[in-house]
Amino acid sequence: MTLLHPLIENAYRVLNGEELTEAEAMALVEQIHGTDIPDLISLANKVRNKFAGEIIACSIINAKSGHCNQNCRFCAQAQAHNTEIETYDLLDREEILSSAQEIYDAGVRIYGIVTSGYGYKNTENAEFKRILEAMDELHERFPGLKICASLGILSDETAKALMDHHLYRYNMNLQTNPERYSELISRQHTIEEKIDTIRYLQKYGATICCGGIFGLGETWRDRIRMAVAVRELGVDGSPLNILLPIPGTPLENEKLMTPADAAKAFAIFRLVNPKIMLKFAAGRETTMKDFQGLLMLAGMNSMITGGYLTTRGRSVEEDRNLIDNLNLFAD
């Protein structure tokens, strides 16, 4: 007699390279509860070890904070929301470089420049040109550093320019089920513009990091739809965030996701996307507290280390200890 729930037993097919269908993923959501959840996590852990067995740490700099004229419902940086974050214009090149030096000295080799705002569609934009200059200098000064960017919506032209200036990977999050983007996230820009941005970049050879946020009022079906949409876009990695409801945003009263639900969502996301980099991004310390190790065990193989955009994170050293102590790849 097997002790595994039959749906989990069926999902072991993923280890043989078979794909989990959307219906199968939804069945796991509906029927796996309580004491079966650790079995799901264990499978996600095995799938990660088999197909994505390298731990990847990256750091980001919030190079331009707040004053955003978009109104994403979760975001502390929208000027329409009454939050108390520190706001500033695009940082000087030297500030971007000195923060890169810090993470480089700590051994991190992936560095992302993140800016608030709609995005850049014109290569003549003065801010965009400054970012390109900073990327050139990062490339020159730090051998082996992979340069990422998260600058919002792009045109074909700006996508190409980033690639011409040493872009390794671009972050463009779906945030949630694409079909409900306007309802759950924002009506000021469209999910199609975001998907177009991904397509432009892929055309020029960029790798793509594309994920979203759990806990912003979406249903389980939305979570599965997002996981499947990420798979269909053929992206290379996916940052998964857990909402920290920020006072002053429309989601300030949203209930925190429980660690059990978060672990289940992460594990199923891994089963739907066995091979890509899955990054546990924001929400590790603030919402998951003692359980962040559990979520790494639910199939993650990457983390943002050294702080996030508008919330503090942990030091590179602390994260390194966390990963060492988890002993993720032990037999």
Query: Which residues are near ligand SF4 by CB under 6 A?
Result: 68, 70-72, 75, 77-78, 116-118, 152
CB of 69 to ligand SF4, least distance (A): 7
Give just the sign of the alpha carbon dihedral 289, 326, 25, 6.
negative
Query: What 8-state DSSP symbol labels residue 57?
Result: E
CB of 216 to ligand SF4, least distance (A): 12
Nearer CB in complex with ligand SF4: 213/316: 213
N- to C-terminal Cα separation, the chain: 24
CB of 197 to ligand SF4, least distance (A): 12
Using only C-alpha atoms, what is the Rg of the chain? 19
Nearer CB in complex with ligand SF4: 64/169: 64
Alpha-carbon separation of residue 131 from 59, 76, 113 (angstroms): 17, 23, 8
CB of 298 to ligand SF4, least distance (A): 25
Nearer CB in complex with ligand SF4: 74/104: 74
Nearer CB in complex with ligand SF4: 67/141: 67
CB of 71 to ligand SF4, least distance (A): 6
Three state DSSP letters for 163-231: HHCCEEEEECCCECCHHHHHHHCCCCCCHHHHHHHHHHHHHCCCEEECCEEECCCCCHHHHHHHHHHHH
CB of 135 to ligand SF4, least distance (A): 20
Nearer CB in complex with ligand SF4: 83/202: 83
Instruction: Please choose, from the candidates 125, 124, 122, 103, the residue with its C-alpha nearest in 3D space to the C-alpha of residue 112.
Output: 103
DSSP secondary structure letters along 264-319: HHHHHHHHHSSSSEEEE-TTTTTTTGGGHHHHHHTT--EEE-S--SSS----HHHH
Helix 93-105 vs helix 126-141: crossing angle, to nearest 10? 30
Nearer CB in complex with ligand SF4: 117/217: 117
Nearer CB in complex with ligand SF4: 45/116: 116
Q: Distance (Å, rounded) from C-alpha 247 to C-alpha 66?
A: 15
